[in-house]
Every structure is written in structure tokens, then in C-alpha cells.
């Protein structure tokens, strides 16, 4: 049902391009806009997952759009469990600290072939950059007292990718400073991922007697596309 509604909305917008010719839209040099995405229940949220999506027109038929996504994650989880048996005590405790950051930047040059209409179609191309890193530290103690084994591990990884992004869509100016739009996007990116893990193990309360390090690196091309993204723009 959602796919049918999405297709119907897109069809109406495309059909409007052929018949709408009233010059009531705000496209002009220096005009700016903030974009939002319209969700399933018509709630507004970040456009295409971006923290902010900003557009500025250098001319009525040309604009630059900048999208920036910044994500920060910090998590601290503790777990303790002990079970008493008739002859020994089973102990298990764990402390996990995780933090990570990710950044994505899209810069698009948009073209509006017919910028004087109430309903305009547009297309755009530009670069996409991504970077992310994470670090995870985990310490645990487990076993039967007094013979407890202690472990400490540290994982670190980062990834980056560069590529090209292309979009195409239709924008309908429902008011002088508000528009609705439907958009498809496709991207081609080359990325590299690196991960390293250190593990220490020994008797609880003593220096570790075992240490190992493993690392891996991968790279490759990725082609991606999106379903129709429905959004709203506020011009100022």
C-alpha cells in the first residue's frame, strides 16, 4: 500500500510538470532552503539521514546543496552474575565500553531546466565522502573461585569511502516559500575498511600470560540506490 501511495504521489508530481506554468516559485539567485524528509506518518525528519541539508541558488536554474551527517555513539555496559553451588562459586562479570563517530558529506550541484514553473523537475551530481571509526574495550572475569580467568580486549576500526552521487526528482511549490519534492538517488563509491583486535588473558589479579593481535583490511567498490525520498523545503 505504501508503495502504491508513493508511486501515485510521484506520478501526480511528474504530470504536473507538463501542465504547470505559473511563475509562483521563489527560485532566484541567493535564495536558500532547508530540507526535511517526510516520514510514513507525515512526520518531518532529517532529509536522507542527514543532520542538515542546506541548499543555495546561484541562479534560478542552478543551486548547490550540502548535506552533512554527523553521528556520535558512546555506550557503557556492565554485567555481573554469580551462582553459588555446594562446593564452589561461579562468577561472571563483564564491562564493555564502546564509542564511535561517523561523518558523511554530500555536495551536489542541482540543475532546474524549467525554473519558472510551479512544478519543476531537477537533477544533480556531485561528490560524496564518508568516514567512520569505532573503539570497543571489554574486560571480563569468569570461572569458579578462586580460579578466575581475566580477559581484556580492545577493538579498533575505521573506514572511509569516496565516490559520486547523482539525484533526480520533481519539486512542487505549494506556497511562496514552501515546496514538496520526490527524489531518487544513486551512488558509486570506493571504500577501505581496517580493523584491529588485541586480546590479553590470564589469571585474575596477575599479569596477563597471553596476548594476541589480529588485523584485517578490505577494500572495494559499492553501487547503491534509494527508493523515492519524499521531502519538504523551507525557503528563506
Q: Which residue has the higher pLDDT, 35 or 20?
A: 35
Q: Are 37 and 47 in contact (CB under 8 A)?
A: yes
Strands 147-175 and 178-203: antiparallel
Q: Which whole-number Å values give the CA distances from 12 to 73, 160, 166, 227, in the listed order?
A: 41, 39, 23, 17
Q: What is the mean pLDDT of the chain?
A: 85
The pLDDT value given to residue 82: 60
Q: Which residue has the cell 579498533?
A: 156
3-state secondary structure of 55: strand
Taking residues 130-158, report their average pLDDT. Answer: 87
Question: What pLDDT band is residue 84 in, cutting at 50, 70 and 90?
Answer: low
The yes-or-no verdict on residue 42 having pLDDT over 60 is yes
The pLDDT value given to residue 87: 58
The yes-or-no verdict on residue 197 having pLDDT over 60 is yes
> Roughly how many angstroms between the first and final C-alpha of the chain, as a whole number?
35
Q: Which residue has the higher pLDDT, 7 or 190?
A: 190
The answer to which of 17-26, 43-52, 143-152 has the lowest mean pLDDT is 17-26
Partner residues linked to 101 by β-bridges:
72, 133
pLDDT digits (tens, 9 = 90+) for 5-16: 444 444 444 444
Report the C-alpha gap between 29 and 14 in whole angstroms.
Answer: 25
pLDDT digits (tens, 9 = 90+) for 90-137: 667 888 889 999 999 999 999 999 988 889 999 999 999 999 999 999
Question: What pLDDT band is residue 171 in, cutting at 50, 70 and 90?
Answer: very high
Cα 93-97-98 angle, rounded to 5 deg? 140
Taking residues 132-147, report their average pLDDT. Answer: 84
The pLDDT value given to residue 92: 73
pTM check: above 0.85: no
Taking residues 216-233, report their average pLDDT. Answer: 92
The pLDDT value given to residue 20: 45
The pLDDT value given to residue 5: 43
Candidates 119, 113, 111, 110; CA nearest to 24 is: 119
The answer to which of 8-17, 49-58, 64-73, 104-113 has the lowest mean pLDDT is 8-17
The most distant pair of C-alpha atoms in the chain lies apart, rounded to whole Å, by 87
Taking residues 67-74, report their average pLDDT. Answer: 91
Question: What pLDDT band is residue 88 in, cutting at 50, 70 and 90?
Answer: low
Cα 159-124-106 angle, rounded to 5 deg? 25
Amino acid at each position: 500500500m505504501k508503495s502504491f501511495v508513493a508511486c501515485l504521489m510521484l506520478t501526480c508530481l511528474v504530470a504536473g510538470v507538463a501542465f504547470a506554468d505559473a511563475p509562483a516559485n521563489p527560485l532566484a539567485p541567493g535564495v536558500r532552503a532547508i530540507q526535511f524528509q517526510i516520514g510514513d506518518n507525515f512526520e518531518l525528519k532529517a532529509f536522507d539521514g542527514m543532520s542538515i541539508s542546506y541548499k543555495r541558488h546561484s541562479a534560478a536554474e542552478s543551486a548547490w546543496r550540502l548535506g552533512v551527517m554527523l553521528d556520535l555513539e558512546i555506550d557503557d555496559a556492565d554485567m555481573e552474575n554469580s551462582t553459588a553451588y555446594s562446593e564452589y562459586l561461579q562468577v561472571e562479570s563483564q564491562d564493555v565500553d564502546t564509542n564511535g563517530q561517523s561523518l558523511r558529506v554530500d555536495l551536489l550541484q542541482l540543475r532546474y531546466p524549467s525554473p519558472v514553473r510551479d512544478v519543476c523537475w531537477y537533477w544533480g551530481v556531485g561528490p560524496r565522502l564518508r568516514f567512520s571509526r569505532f573503539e570497543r574495550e571489554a574486560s571480563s572475569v569468569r570461572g569458579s573461585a578462586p580460579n578466575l580467568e581475566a580477559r581484556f580486549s580492545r577493538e579498533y576500526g575505521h573506514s572511509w569511502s569516496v565516490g559520486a552521487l547523482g539525484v533526480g526528482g520533481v519539486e512542487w511549490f505549494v506556497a511562496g516559500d514552501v515546496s514538496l519534492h520526490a527524489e531518487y538517488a544513486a551512488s558509486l563509491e570506493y571504500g577501505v575498511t581496517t580493523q584491529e583486535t588485541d586480546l590479553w588473558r590470564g589469571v585474575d589479579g596477575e599479569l596477563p600470560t597471553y596476548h594476541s593481535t589480529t588485523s584485517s583490511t578490505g577494500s572495494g567498490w559499492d553501487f547503491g540506490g534509494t527508493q523515492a525520498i519524499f521531502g519538504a523545503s523551507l525557503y528563506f
